[in-house]
Amino acid sequence: MSMAADPTRPEYRAAGTDLSERRRSGVSRGALLDVAAPAGVEPTPDGGLRLGALTTIAALAADPAIRAGYPGLAAAAAGLATPQIRRMATLGGNIAQRNRCWYFRNPDIACLKKGADACPARAGNALYAVAFDSAPCVAPHPSTLAAALLAYDARLDTNQRRDAPIAEALGDGRAASAETALRPGELITAVALPAPASNERAFYKRAIGRAHAEWPLVELVLRASVEGGVFAGLRLVAGGVAPVPLRLQAAEAAALGKPATATTFAAAAAAAIEGANPLPQSRYKLDLLQGLVLDLLEQAASQG
Amino acid sequence: MATASVNGRTVDLPEDDEPLLLDVLRDRLGLTGAKLVCGAGVCGACTVLIDGAAVVSCLMPAKAAAGKTVTTVEGIGAPELHPVQRAFMAQDALQCGFCTPGFIVEAKAFYDEWRTKHGAVAPSREDIGAAFCGHLCRCGAYDNIYRAIVDACAGAYDRAGREAPRLGARDKVTGAAVYTHDIRHEGQLEGVILRSAHAHARVAALDLSVAQRMPGVKAAVSLLDASRTVTFVGDPIAAVAAADRETAERALGAILVQFEALAAAIGPEAALAPGAAVVFPRGKGLKYNAGEGGNSPASWNGNLRGPVSAFSLRRKTARKAIDAARAANDPLLVEGVFRTSAQQHNSLEPHVAVAHFDGEDLTVEVSTQAVSALGAEIAKHFKLDPARVRVLAQHVGGGFGSKGAMRFETIAAIELAKVARAPVRVAFSRHEELSVAGYRPAVELRIALLPARDGSLSALSLTAHSDAGVAANNTVAGLARLIYTAQAKELLDYDVISNLPPGSPFRGPGGPPMAFALEQAIDEAALRLGQDPIALRKRWDANPARARLYDWAMGLDVWKARTAPSGEGRYRRGVGVAAGYWLYLWQADTKAELSVIGGRLVASLAVQDIGTGTRTVIADTLAREFGLDPSEIEVRLGDSKLPLGPGSGGSRVTASIVPTLLEASAKLKARVQGAPAAGGNAPWRARLAASPDLSVIAGRPADAKRNIYGNASLLHEAGIVGRLFGWMLRFQQKLAVGAGAPSSVQVIEVEVDTWLARVRVLRAWSGIAVGKLAAPALARNQAAGAFYQSLGHALYEGREIDSRTGRVLSVNLDDYRTPGIGDAPPIEVHFEESGFDHVPGGSVGIGEVASVPTPAALANAVRNAIGVRPQEIPIRPDRLLALLKGAAHVDGR
């Protein structure tokens, strides 16, 4: 978990799966603050769950209560990184991890997130850049769990505030110093999920070149309830395309109340890219986003 | 003090927050089974068990292991091997072995959990693909890894049984094999290299004095040559040795360098633009050679070197025929521009050398493909007596062409050791490995292929522009001379020089790019002629071994069931074919010593086993000759003091050493026969046991004069120029090009997901003609591995740069994407064993030819699936989407 643009400022460390790589390369050089925070999954009085920030990704993916009530979160946890990473990496660390931009990760290159005044990717090689270009930095948000948690209206506790909506903690992606709106010194301690919806299905999928173990070009979390062949509830959150996980409200609106048929899927896919402003090299991500919307809507309609 | 239990032993953990578990295991506890490869949790080579769960130790803070049980590969399999270790050995689920400890640790945990949950049943390929996706094998032993895990889980290895077909496999599955990267001598220093941040500059001043005086620093040396010019980002400037890497890296920061920036040209487009800065005016200053031969003469025009056109055949006739066909809008004229990306070797063991002087004697342990040649090269470069230079390489974690010559890890280690008077290790980081350690040059190929009305091949024109940064001497188009008979061929090779790191030889240099253009053009010609693409190849191709491979491929059910693209549906399947060849090379000055020592047969020669199975080839060959088990033979290699052996390049090892060993065997048999103690008709085992110690040395005998090809060398098919080229190779490098061509024909079936733009390879067939198999149990593994590596080039692997600064961006294994086990389709390897009966032993090498057709076969399969032809690899999702979108009209042929 991090909080610094200045590479010499202190950083929180949970399992270290992100930070250790940046320290080995020299991108991050500040003091280490090993975090103490709860791990584990507990029910809350309102019927929801409270997830300790140090719960591992593997534990989230395997937890029966998460799998039953929040299958999109369980699937997202099971679908990220590699098994070895999932056994170590934590919920809090995943949300607060730094981006994967190859300019940011390269110790020899200056960039906005390392205190420089311009983004070298914007005018350079932007193959993996955002397609919804709404911040000075063009790196997509790296956290798969953040996208899933946004889809479930999760709220965060930190050492500085309680019960903050995750959208508030993630911010608008414009901060120069981090990929979240966490304040200096702020540390995620727990994540709360509201009571699960009934009659709902949820899915997660990422578009990648290889079969497994690749940072998503685009990823999508979908929650849907289908009643009488009609989409009665729908939530779509995309990752890999914007500086923060992106809720696709136009696509939701295009499908809500409509029959769960191919015509509706196509309308939702077309609406999914509303407002997109890709860089020339990242335009392809919009096609992948539409493909994912079609794929997951079709799955939602065909199951049960 | 916090402690952990490591392999059953209580150890103190460092108090410091910083150290990572892997570094503690390797550097403080001497447990070097776990490897440092990517340092980013991608490749899994560092995997260990923490309380039974497999995690990557390269990212885990050491202090997080406090109170926990740590199991490394060294802690598995003692006193008895674990079933997964037995399975990996018996199924030959490894090649170079550098990734093997990580796989074994994960496989142990997977097996234990699987058996608890499911009992002795086989997991599916999908189960294994998902569970092992955090492990990368660069040699591509994936198909055998699948088999090993499946069979182990199913219970086939619960008891000790089958022996490993590969010599040294036990050391590799237990972590006992010591690679150069693992060497830790007493008092050994760590060296690091200061590299240029500029793409092109002159070093006006270099001051090492502050760095030299820093505590812990033992040596600081300049690596600049007389020109004092750096020509790419990452060009070496100086090196520092210190007691540890951190100190050495800090010292790099204290070196004062003043640059005079020079105008740079970055990438081929900029290099050829009007007014571009010229990197090497008329070739002056060119140092790097991307090819395997010497730099051939060529003309220069700015940054453009060439054309080299020597392999053309009636060049002007070809040009005229194609121009006329174009003017006449001849529908049979196939034209296109094809591009192949720069492919990184990415050997999992980085370039690493440990140098140390003992008086005047220099010993260099180094991860190299050529102990003999490197010893000579070091002696020449450092002006040392060759008799006082020794190069050692017992285990080498992959090479693929990148470790064939002396590189800066070796130069820096020697320079530093000379000053420090202590052993110095210089090991490239993954960042260095993926930026400045060499790569397969990117190529742009312009092709025109004209079938005649009678269905023969009238004319071929192929022009290649190779982008190897500051390296030259690429031969790509010229390779099209030695396959397919045409009336005329115009074959032009250019190098486009620019301020990017130097490319280098890579598995079949020039072969896969050439085939990518030529084999797609032939596929297109077959479509236009309405002919079966395999039948058309058979018609145009005079090689008898490939003719048999074509027959085999045409008989495959998947080929017979092939249909035209429908242009409909989300998932679209296609089948493609391509052919390839490589040169049959052998090292004419190869020697081997064969001895009886204490009744045991000992083979000694200065070759190295980089994962290709050379130890096993030697043992299997001798075992057949003497009626022994291969394990009874002692193989000594990896030492330049032994009789001269070939480098592991150009697929030359098998064809060089097998005939030599047969010759040595005959000599030894005559000596043992004549020895007084030996009994006349007893088995050789008994006669060797009774023999006094003795020893023979043999050279590489010539091939039989008569062969089915009717000439002494494949190069003779390229006329007088070919003969001249062959003579130069023989004269300069003692390298002979024999008759016949190692050949391959591959068939691939793909499924294209048109929504998510992914190409999934469903199945593959690789037909290989390399004569008799010298190590039959290993041959399939090497052929499959070459295929998977080349598939990576076709689908995923592309170096990415920042074209303003000349920095390589794809410098970690997240961004440089190699195939994982889930990307490795089932593969059937078919060996056609005839064709090399003129070679003593009848065997030639597999490593290169098995990779040549793959990108083309894959592209032809994608063409068959979607009706549009991929003209650029890797066929990334963004490129596939562009193809699908550009296909306003799907060509349904």
DSSP A211-239: SSS---SEEEEEEEEEETTEEEEEEEEEE
Whether residue B441 is contained in a domain is answered as: no
Mutation for A interface: B24, B59, B816, most A CBs within 10 A: B59
Distance CA A138, CA A136 (A): 6
**Predicted-complex ipTM score:** 0.97
- Per-residue confidence (pLDDT) for residue A37, from 0 to 100: 87
| CA distance, residue B135 to nearest chain A CA (Å) | 9
Which chain B residues are within 8 Å of A110, Cβ to Cβ?
none
Quote the CA–CA distance of B544 and B770 in Å, as a whole number: 12
Contact A16 B876 (CB under 8 A): no
**Residue A51 to residue A47: CA distance in whole angstroms:** 13
Q: Does any domain span residue B799?
A: yes
Chain B partners within 8 Å of A105 (Cβ): 812
Burial readout B736-764 (b: 16 or more C-beta within 10 A, e: otherwise):
bbbbbbbbbbbbbbbebbbbbbbbbbeeb
Plot region of A40 (φ>0 → left; ψ -120 to 50 → alpha; else → beta): left
Query: Does B357 share its domain with B389?
Result: yes
Q: Provide the number of structural domains found in chain B.
A: 5
Chain B residues with CB under 8 Å of A302 CB are none
Superfamily of domain A201-302: CO dehydrogenase flavoprotein, C-terminal domain (3.30.390.50)
Distance (Å) from the C-alpha of residue A194 to the closest C-alpha of chain B? 31
Q: Does B760 touch chain A (CB under 8 A)?
A: yes
Instruction: Examine the fold and report which residue of B46, B75, B104 is the final residue of a domain before the chain moves on.
Output: B75
The answer to whether residue B641 sits within a structural domain is: yes
Residues of B in contact with A293 (CB under 8 A): none
Chain B residues with CB under 8 Å of A284 CB are 757, 877-878, 881-882
**Radius of gyration over every alpha carbon of chain A, rounded to an integer in angstroms:** 19
Could B756 and A88 be called an inter-chain contact, meaning their C-beta atoms sit closer than 8 Å?
no
Do residue B373 and residue B242 come from a single domain? Answer: yes
* pLDDT reading at A2 higher than 50: no
Which of B27, B49, B75 marks a domain boundary? B75
With CA atoms as reference, the chain B residue closest to A78 would be B130
Whether A84 sits inside 8 A of B61 (CB atoms) is no
What's the CA gap between A256 and A111, in Å, rounded? 41
Same domain, B578 and B589: no
- Interface contact flag, B877 A207, Cβ < 8 Å: yes
Residue pLDDT, tens place only, A109-137: 999 999 999 999 999 999 999 999 999 99
B434 to chain A, minimum CA–CA distance in Å? 12
State which residue of chain A sits closest to B40, comparing Cα positions: A21
Using CB atoms and an 8 Å cut-off, which of residues 565-604 of chain B contact chain A? none
**pLDDT digits 0-9 by tens, B62-98:** 999 999 999 999 999 988 999 999 999 999 999 999 9
CA distance linking residue B802 with residue A123, whole number of Å: 10
Residues of B in Cβ contact (< 8 Å) with A82: 41-42, 44, 133-134
Of B57, B99, B66, the closest CA to residue A17 belongs to: B57
In B419-478, the residues whose Cβ lies within 8 Å of chain A are: 431
Look at residue B293 in the predicted model and tell me its pLDDT.
Answer: 65
Are the beta carbons of A109 and B807 separated by less than 8 Å? yes
Spacing of C-alpha B347 from chain mean position? 7
* Final residue belonging to a domain, choices B703, B723, B758: B703
Q: How far is B56 from chain A (nearest CA, A)?
A: 6
Residues B694 and B579 in one domain: no
Residues from chain B contacting residue A102 (CB–CB below 8 Å):
800, 809-812, 815
A180 vs chain B: nearest CA distance in angstroms? 22
Residue B294 and residue B431 in contact, taking contact as beta carbons nearer than 8 Å = no
Question: B residues 617-646 near A, CB within 8 Å?
Answer: none
Composition of chain B by helix, strand, coil, percent to 5: 35, 25, 45
- For residue A277, the distance in angstroms to the closest alpha carbon of chain B comes to 17
B137 touches chain A (CB under 8 A): no
Looking at the fold, whether B258 and B402 belong to one and the same domain comes out as yes
For every residue of B21-89, DSSP letters joined together read: HHHIIIIIS---SS--SSSSSSS-TTEEEETTEEEETTTSBGGGGTT-EEE-GGGSSSSS--HHHHHHH
Nearest C-alpha in A relative to B809: A102
Q: What is the mean pLDDT of each run of 10 residues along chain B (893 residues)?
A: 96 95 97 98 98 98 97 94 97 98 98 98 98 98 98 95 91 98 97 98 98 98 97 98 96 97 98 98 93 78 96 98 98 98 98 97 98 98 98 98 96 98 98 98 98 94 98 97 97 98 97 98 97 98 96 98 94 98 97 97 98 97 97 97 96 97 97 70 91 97 95 93 92 94 98 98 98 95 98 98 98 98 98 96 97 98 97 98 76 64
Please say whether the beta carbons of B17 and B61 come within 8 A: yes
Residue B159 is part of a domain; what is its CATH number?
A: 1.10.150.120
Answer yes or no: do B748 and B864 share one domain: yes
Minimum Cα–Cα distance from A283: chain B residue? B878
**pLDDT at res. B890:** 56
Tokens 């397609």 belong to A131
Do A291 and B757 lie within an 8 Å CB cutoff? Answer: yes
Q: Is the peptide bond before B819 cis (omega within 30 degrees of 0)?
A: no
How far from B31 is each of A28, A49, A62, B14, B35, CA to CA, in Å? 28, 42, 33, 16, 9
Decide if pLDDT at A1 tops 50. no
Q: Which are the contacts of B42, defined by CB distance < 8 A and separation ≥ 6?
A: A82, A213, B134, B136, B812, B813, B814
Check CB contact of B244 with chain A, cutoff 8 Å: no
For B176-199, the three-class secondary structure string (H helix, E strand, C coil) is: CCCEHHHCCCCCCEEEEEEECCCC
Residue B471 lies in a domain: no
Cβ-defined contact of A13 to B807 (cutoff 8 Å) = no
Domain shared by B627 and B543, yes or no: no
Average pLDDT over residues A217-230: 97
Residues of chain A with Cβ-Cβ distance to B41 below 8 Å are 17, 21, 81-82, 84-85
Asked if the Cβ–Cβ distance from A24 to B41 is below 8 Å, we say no
CB atoms < 10 A from the CB of B383, how many?
Answer: 6
Residue A3 scores a pLDDT above 60: no
Q: B757–A288: do the CB atoms touch at under 8 Å?
A: yes
Q: Where are the domains of chain A?
A: 11-38+80-193, 201-302
List chain B residues with CB under 8 Å of A207: 756-758, 877
Instruction: Report the C-alpha gap between B628 and A250 in whole angstroms.
Output: 74
- Do B820 and A123 lie within an 8 Å CB cutoff? no
* Residue ranges in chain A assigned as alpha helix (H): 19-25, 57-62, 64-69, 71-78, 83-88, 91-96, 144-151, 166-170, 249-255, 262-272, 284-302
**Residues spanned by the domain of B95:** 83-177
Two tokens at B891?
A: 């060509």
| Nearest-CA distance B259 → chain A (Å) | 17
Residue type, A196: P
CA distance between the termini of chain A: 40
Residue B443 lies in a domain: no
Across the interface, do A213 and B42 touch by the CB < 8 Å criterion? yes
Nearest to A108 among B756, B807, B819 (CB): B807
A162 to A50, A173, B462: CA distances (angstroms): 13, 21, 68
Domain shared by B394 and B378, yes or no: yes
3-state secondary structure of B353: strand
Contact check, Cβ <8 Å, A292/B756: yes
Q: Which position has the token pair 């145009």?
A: B540
Say yes or no: B673 and B803 in one domain. no
Chain B environment of A291 (Cβ under 8 Å): 755-757
